[in-house]
Amino acid sequence: MNFELKALTAAAAAREKCDLLLVLVSEQTALGSDAIGTIVSHAVKQGDFALSCGKQLALYQVPAVAARRVLLLGVGAGSARDVRNALQGCAAALKAEGLEKAALHFAFEADAKAVACAVQTLGDATYAYTHTKSQAKPLSLKKVTLGVPSKTAAVAAAFEIGVAQQEGVAMAREWANRPANHATPTMLANAAKGIAKAARMSCKIHGPAEVAKLGMGAFMAVAQGSREPLRFIELHYNGGAKGDAPIVLVGKGITFDTGGISLKPAAEMDEMKFDMGGAASVLGVFQSLAKLQPAINVVGLIPACENMPDGAAVKPGDVVTSMSGQTIEILNTDAEGRLVLCDALHYAARFKPAALVDMATLTGACVIALGGLRSGLFSANDELASALQTAGDAAMDPCWRMPLDDEYADGLKSNFADMGNVAGRAAGAVTAAKFLQKFVGDIPWAHLDIAGTAWKSGAAKGATGRPVGLLLQFLLSKAASAKPVKTAKVAKAAPAPRSASTRKRAASTASKAGA
């Protein structure tokens, strides 16, 4: 989607030539005697429209309004949340056939956050998965112009971030949505290479031989039951000063999780194609960084493989040696995420990270604990935890801190190795995090369990692109607090994932069943 921001008075909004004019009217809107103001006043007086959030009034061929169609949207107090809720309700209108150009007029002084949020919501509302659909019609909407009463520097900056963020979110959704046979470890690696064509980016792909040489025995154990070769993807973005400690992001990249020999039940197993949601969010964040070119160094690591049952698959009771040298008794082959992550986390130490953050669709227990609203946040570092929580709130991609008391690790004891890969059923999300913690040493580390938030089940089944928003916000706040080092060059455009047919876009609103 093409987004444009410009200053627009109510009178100018009426003159804006487009197929659809969305007018956001808040309780603060001063209704003037211009064409739109007059209509809103009348409609409110007649009881056909109200300013409370979510109210709509569709109008056609309004006198003195250039747009073919006008949609009045009440946004209540006009907060970012109100704007999001109001815009989510007009996804269908944006996808109408023949609609090519839309304009969104803020009929009140919207703050920067509301403008960024509008862009993200429009991006979400107009995304549709088409990659493996033979009959998908392309979305006709080509451009959305956002009109604000005053285009301040803060609003313009937030707009740019919103545009980059929705592109990253769309990329994460696209890769997570693709079925496992259309999103193999090799295909994810190729996607990373595509993103890394942007300025200040590079990418290194490690195959089975390199991973064996590194001694990633835990990661290899998960991959050994699959015909698909594993990939260890390493992305670098160097926007900061040379030698500035990077933020390292690690994303779980299980492109399909059958459970392995500890096989999962058949019901809803298809959703385990989303088990690379963490990996997809790393790709999405790098796509956003490519566009924004902030002054920060970031490393992205993705251990990618399938978890399959097979004659060669790892068996319950097998003991493997992780890259750290610690041995692991694999008591349950379905607890594979922590096995691929522990080697990636150990590998991360070589970059001497300022912070290390992993994202993983790690435990069903986290879905039970927090549902689909907030991701689980685990960190022993108060400063890092609070920065991530703040970033999540600001990006409306929230998380919630969970405990990490040492006693939670008691259940990981093994009679045959340094640790088992599972504890009991109790506090399953916490014991998984305690397992990971054994591999991070004293690096400031946080773990985001996104099992409940990375995708939705049921009629709205599909990836959400979370936690791209949270991570991008976190990285940008780090970049802002660091001293500026150099002016950003213009980014080379990185290709978006290609679809079988042209991209059409759709909204998904329902939440994950049982979440």
Q: How many residues does the chain have?
A: 515
Q: Which does 363 bind (CB under 5 to 8 A by kind): Zn ion, ligand BES, Mn ion, none?
A: ligand BES
CB of 333 to Mn ion, least distance (A): 8
Residues 257 to 316 in contact with Zn ion, rule: CB under 5 A: 257, 275
The catalytic residue among 101, 173, 338, 512 is 338
Tokens for 505?
A: 């876009």
Q: Rule CB under 5 A: is residue 257 a binding residue for Mn ion?
A: yes
DSSP 8-state class, residue 350: G
Residue closer to Zn ion (CB basis): 194 or 337: 337
Residue closer to Mn ion (CB basis): 16 or 334: 334
What's the maximum distance between 2 C-alpha atoms anywhere in the chain? Answer: 80
If you write DSSP's letter for every residue of 52-79 in order, what string do you get?
A: STT-EEEEES-TT--SSEEEEEE-TT--
Active site residue 95: no
Q: Rule CB under 6 A: is residue 422 a binding residue for ligand BES?
A: yes
Indicate which single residue of 174, 228, 234, 275 sits in contact with ligand BES (rule: CB under 6 A). 275
Indicate which single residue of 367, 395, 402, 475 sits in contact with ligand BES (rule: CB under 6 A). 367
What does the radius of gyration of the chain's CA atoms come to, in whole angstroms? Answer: 24
| Termini Cα distance of the chain | 31
Q: How big is the site for Zn ion, counted in residues (CB under 5 A)? A: 4
Helix, strand, or coil (residue 513):
coil
CB of 340 to ligand BES, least distance (A): 10
Indicate which single residue of 34, 167, 234, 257 sits in contact with ligand BES (rule: CB under 6 A). 257
Residue closer to Mn ion (CB basis): 10 or 304: 304
CB of 257 to Mn ion, least distance (A): 4
Indicate which single residue of 79, 332, 381, 390 sits in contact with ligand BES (rule: CB under 6 A). 332
Element (H, E) at 470: helix 468-481
Active site residue 350: no
- Residues 57 and 59: their CA atoms lie apart, in Å, by 7
**Cβ(363)–Cβ(429) under 8 Å?**
yes
- Residues 273 and 310: their CA atoms lie apart, in Å, by 18
Q: Rule CB under 6 A: is residue 251 a binding residue for ligand BES?
A: no
Q: Rule CB under 6 A: is residue 335 a binding residue for ligand BES?
A: yes
- Residues 21 and 14: their CA atoms lie apart, in Å, by 9
Give the CA distances from residue 259 to residues 225, 276, 310, 411, 513, in Å, rounded to whole numbers and listed in that order. Answer: 11, 14, 11, 21, 20
The catalytic residue among 81, 204, 264, 401 is 264
Indicate which single residue of 234, 334, 343, 358 sits in contact with ligand BES (rule: CB under 6 A). 334
- Residues 145 and 75: their CA atoms lie apart, in Å, by 18
**Cβ(353)–Cβ(250) under 8 Å?**
no
Q: How big is the site for ligand BES, counted in residues (CB under 6 A)? A: 16
Q: Which does 85 bind (CB under 5 to 8 A by kind): Zn ion, Mn ion, ligand BES, none?
A: none
Burial (Cβ within 10 Å: 0-12, 13-18, ≥19) of residue 58: exposed
- Residues 197 and 149: their CA atoms lie apart, in Å, by 37
CB of 372 to ligand BES, least distance (A): 11
Element (H, E) at 117: helix 112-126
Kindly report the backbone phi and psi dihedral angles of residue 143, in degrees, each rounded to the nearest multiple of 5, phi listed first: -150, 140
Residue closer to ligand BES (CB basis): 335 or 385: 335
Q: Rule CB under 5 A: is residue 174 a binding residue for Mn ion?
A: no
Q: Rule CB under 5 A: is residue 334 a binding residue for Mn ion?
A: yes
What amino acid positions are annotated as catalytic residues? 264, 338
Binding site for ligand BES (CB under 6 A): 257, 275, 332, 334-337, 361-365, 367, 422, 428, 451
Binding site for Mn ion (CB under 5 A): 257, 334, 336
Binding site for Zn ion (CB under 5 A): 254, 257, 275, 337
